[in-house]
Structure 1
């Protein structure tokens, strides 16, 4: 082994093995690499949380299944209740990623029936990619926000834990593994308390058609769904609760159930001024009378409110007393102790009973034999 000599400050000569110097240098490099690795491990979740490239997959393309529009190319469904994706495939982009690896996607579409252009966020539970369900249809839950309802739908926010809660409830046997559709509720911000009641108000964007026609069409085009109304439900809070409630009562042939949290009961947008006939056609009380008189089809309405919602409680109680569990209208009420008029409260109510109650009325998915 060769050596190199060096002199100390007092002039004494010392000798050092070159191999030893190389080992010392290697150790320094190792320490540096380990430090960089530790810093990276610490920085990665922080950078990912704040969605700083390249530490996030936000904006990446995502597909929720193979969609082939060639004649005869589609897989056969597991049963006659299932509708395979019809296409065309939407250009979804990742909006966020959950801890279990599932993704919330988002796309901007122009509804062919409403003519309205807006965003829709979607999410599929992990069961959707399970091989035993690969030919099975999944139920769809259309989740509507309160508040502005534009330009976002707050149910797509992972912090509210709707998606992760649906996964948990499915694992616990308390709920179906729903597909989620989370569209914008309004065509623009509700400046000055302006909103559209999830309806086709004359002279305004057709938000009722958007919610009950275009959004379901998007889900059928891109996901395995249930053909009949038995696989379709709404949920919503505040004005979104009203829109979901009204949608089920107005279209009981298309939708079977709703979770209406802290909802309005009657339409009250000032945009209805001058249109009393159309307003009545979108009034849940009027629609309930008509449904009872027609003797069906059966609908399942789960109401929720917190005990702090003093303005909501009497309205919901009056509706249930008047129409609840009469003829085809089946109702359920979850009272959330200490709950207020917000989404966090309503997720607690769904956990307590509401999700299980509507899931018992909804079809799918069915494992392949």
Structure 2
């Protein structure tokens, strides 16, 4: 049974409840002096606490999608080894599975759209990673067969799971509803983790001697997706959205590569790459690389990028609120880069808050991208 299985969660809850009841029931017998009685009390208390901790952890993981499975939890990510079949005609992107859109009234692609699980291998970076592609119903309809569609890369936080973007944050279902309501144009969504070299958090940086993550997202990924799907070409075809770590990546990619990403939306983003146990030494002493990864420095010292940015925060519940206001002011001062914001009265660094921001973000993104 997998880490995210409802059965595992149910067993953990039952174990915690059973140990609690057992502790209450057996406590009178163990309320004596003596080594055995003391050891029994300690054992029951420790076992009950561990069971409660496991149950709460499983609930949190199901709600926020921190880890996809046991291997992911214990740092033994099983998605690293991707077999690439170098047969004639084999490209850098391979579809490995298809599924219906959650909540769609029909399983037919022409009516409800489709989600495809893909494997992408970077032509230049050789980074291999899975992703999910949402194709709207219009993509399969005969009257749209000659049309190209705008595309948005959607990134999780760290560690995050791509599945959570589909099943927890409801990006495909939300996009379909907005199109049906006439609030946005049909759009292809490429949903994935920014963690392309798990378990390391690369912060979308080209690490000297390590994974060239920024190049993967700025070059390899758009090229691979455009080579397989009918994505609009030229400026205005691509955007990028993310939350938390993915939000920082989204803003940075749009600022560093405005010719690729015409718009970038950072939900609960931060504005400078952290250095901690999950990242390791990202810059290897390269001061120029460190500066480029600092969006404050970039706004002050580099030419203002011709791109559109969206940031979000909450007045109560988000630690980035003051920084977000400062970032908005800094961007406005450039006179070139365009900035928009979503500021909630109350929120937090969590899925519930981001679900409240995603409809407006997708609508905003649609207004800045175009198909053909």
TM-score scaled by length of structure 1: 0.68
User: Residue by residue, what CA displacement relative to the aligned partner does 1:301-328 show, whole Å, maximum 9, x if unpaired?
Assistant: 1111233433111111111112236322
Partner of 2:202: 196
Which consecutive residues of structure 2, in runs of 5 or more, have no partner in the other structure? 1-87, 108-112
Partner of 1:123: 134
Query: Structure 1 residues 195 and 89, CA, compared in 2 at 3 Å: closer, same or farther?
Result: closer
Query: Structure 1 residues 155 and 120, CA, compared in 2 at 3 Å: closer, same or farther?
Result: same
CA distance in 1, matches of 2:168, 2:318: 26
Is 340-349 or 225-234 further displaced after alignment? 340-349
Partner of 2:154: 143
Offset at residue 103 of structure 1 (A): 2.7
Which consecutive residues of structure 1, in runs of 5 or more, have no partner in the other structure? 1-68, 71-85
Partner of 1:90: 94
Partner of 1:310: 318
Matches within 5 A, 1:256-275: 256-269=262-275, 270-271=280-281, 272=283, 274-275=285-286
SS at match of 2:241: strand
Structure number with higher helix proportion: 2
Offset at residue 168 of structure 1 (A): 0.9
Partner of 1:222: 228
Query: Structure 1 residues 290 and 139, CA, compared in 2 at 3 Å: closer, same or farther?
Result: farther
User: Residue by residue, what CA displacement relative to the aligned partner does 1:130-171 show, whole Å, maximum 9, x if unpaired?
Assistant: 22211111011100000214xx32444323211110011112
Partner of 1:336: 344
Q: Is 1:99 aligned to residue 109 of structure 2?
A: no
CA distance in 1, matches of 2:143, 2:300: 43
**Cα pair 2:299 2:330 within 8 Å, conserved:** no
Q: Is 1:174 aligned to residue 174 of structure 2?
A: no
Instruction: Say what the alpha-carbon RMSD is for the aligned residues.
Output: 2.5
Which has more radius of gyration?
1
Partner of 1:187: 196
CA distance in 2, matches of 1:251, 1:337: 32
Query: Structure 1 residues 158 and 103, CA, compared in 2 at 3 Å: closer, same or farther?
Result: farther
TM-score scaled by length of structure 2: 0.67
Q: Is 1:356 aligned to residue 363 of structure 2?
A: yes
CA distance in 1, matches of 2:339, 2:219: 25
Partner of 1:241: 247
CA distance in 2, matches of 1:325, 1:222: 40
- 319, 331, 337: which one aligns with 1:323: 331
CA distance in 2, matches of 1:121, 1:109: 10
Offset at residue 89 of structure 1 (A): 6.4
Matches within 5 A, 1:48-127: 90-94=94-98, 97-100=101-104, 101=107, 102-127=113-138
CA distance in 1, matches of 2:318, 2:101: 37
The total of aligned residue pairs comes to 273
Partner of 2:167: 158
Offset at residue 287 of structure 1 (A): 2.9
Query: Structure 1 residues 207 and 311, CA, compared in 2 at 3 Å: closer, same or farther?
Result: same
CA distance in 1, matches of 2:270, 2:350: 14
**Cα pair 2:120 2:221 within 8 Å, conserved:** no
Offset at residue 241 of structure 1 (A): 0.2
Query: Structure 1 residues 209 and 321, CA, compared in 2 at 3 Å: closer, same or farther?
Result: same
CA distance in 1, matches of 2:301, 2:117: 37
- 269, 293, 302: which one aligns with 1:282: 293
